[in-house]
Structure 1
Amino acid sequence: MEGIELAKKIGAEVVCVYVAKENQNSEFEFSDGKPQSWPTAKEYEEAVNHAAEQFMQPLRESAEAGNVKFTSETFISNTTAGYIVYAAEKNGCDLIYMASRGYTGWENFFMGGVASKVLAASQIPVLVYKVKKEQVPKKAKTYISPRI
């Protein structure tokens, strides 16, 4: 919500970007070593779009309440940072504002944070908001059903 507040203060528009990993599913029914419940590409795309809408809804409502223009982009890709930069360039953004939980130690060394990858890849200025521990939502099990 801090990004929406910043946009309101400076009269900016918001382009919210949601990037889901490619064809992930947490439920498998294995028999003979083959997954029985893997979603089709269309089912997965529909599930991702639904998850993106749910994720963006509070942001959209905050933008509407603050009279901030809000658009959204949803992508399915294993290159999250690349698509964040792509969306910013495609939409003519002047700034990429993103939150970071701030992975540290071995987790950051092996995985690299999305924010650091965006910083490295973007020609557009990047403002990283360090999320406070109490602001991180409790992790809920993400489940994308192939039968949504």
Structure 2
Amino acid sequence: MYRKILITTDGSAVSQHTACAGVKFAQQMGAEVLALFVAPDYQYPVYVEIIPPSYPSEEEYVAQMRRLGEEYMGKIMRSCAGANLQHACMTAFSDTAALKIVDVAEQEGCDLIFMGSHGRSGWGQLLLGSVTNKVLSHTTKPVLVHRLISEPASG
């Protein structure tokens, strides 16, 4: 039914559990997996003339976010390899994560977007909930929203 499934992650414990459920779903479908982490765009300091020496350059920021994305998606990649699924991962940059998720799903030919109903706890949880709602309202592709019954233990 589905040949290529986009699984999103923000690195939180909830998101990691959702991603593992996504891999199991992909295994049942015999589908390829594309894992996606959307990092915020680089923000230049307000006073560009006076950049503090500790402020990362754009290149340093991009490299750091790519490393973070690889770390977040590492468990997904290992799960896919263990399940003998074809898989890839991608770190994308955008301040509008939902639109980037929709764009990547379209550009990469994904049949399904698999994502959590919520991600990070606190304010971040509200934000990812809004990301999920925006994805649902901006895509014509099927979206499978995974909801955990209880909060996973941090680990």
- 2:34 maps to 1:21: no
Structure 1 residues 44 and 34, CA gap change in structure 2 (3 angstroms): closer
Instruction: Give how far 1:111 is off.
Output: 8.4
**Counterpart amino acid of 1:82?**
L
Match of 1:7 in 2: 26
Q: Secondary structure of the equivalent of 1:15? A: strand
Q: Secondary structure of the equivalent of 1:113? A: helix
- 2:142 maps to 1:125: yes
**Counterpart amino acid of 1:4?**
V
Unaligned regions of 5+ residues in structure 1, if any? 139-148
**Contact 2:118/2:129 (CA < 8 Å) preserved in 1?**
no
4+ runs deviating over 3 angstroms: 33-36
Match of 2:94 in 1: 77
Tell me the TM-score normalised to structure 1 length. Answer: 0.76
CA displacement 1:24-76 (0-9 Å, x = unmatched): 69xx9xxxx86442111110010001000100111100000001111112111
Which of the two has higher C-alpha Rg?
Answer: 1
Q: Report the Cα distance in structure 1 between the residues aligned to 2:142 and 2:132, rounded to whole angstroms.
A: 12
Within a 5 Å distance, the mapping from 1:91-130 to structure 2 comes to 91-101=108-118, 108=126, 113-130=130-147
Task: Count how many residue pairs are aligned between Structure 1 and Structure 2.
Answer: 129
**Contact 2:118/2:128 (CA < 8 Å) preserved in 1?**
no
**Contact 1:101/1:132 (CA < 8 Å) preserved in 2?**
no
Q: Report the Cα distance in structure 1 between the residues aligned to 2:94 and 2:55, rounded to whole angstroms.
A: 17
**Counterpart amino acid of 2:68?**
A
Instruction: Give how far 1:100 is off.
Output: 2.2
**Among the aligned pairs, what percent are the same residue?**
34
**Counterpart amino acid of 1:69?**
Q
Q: Secondary structure of the equivalent of 2:54? A: coil
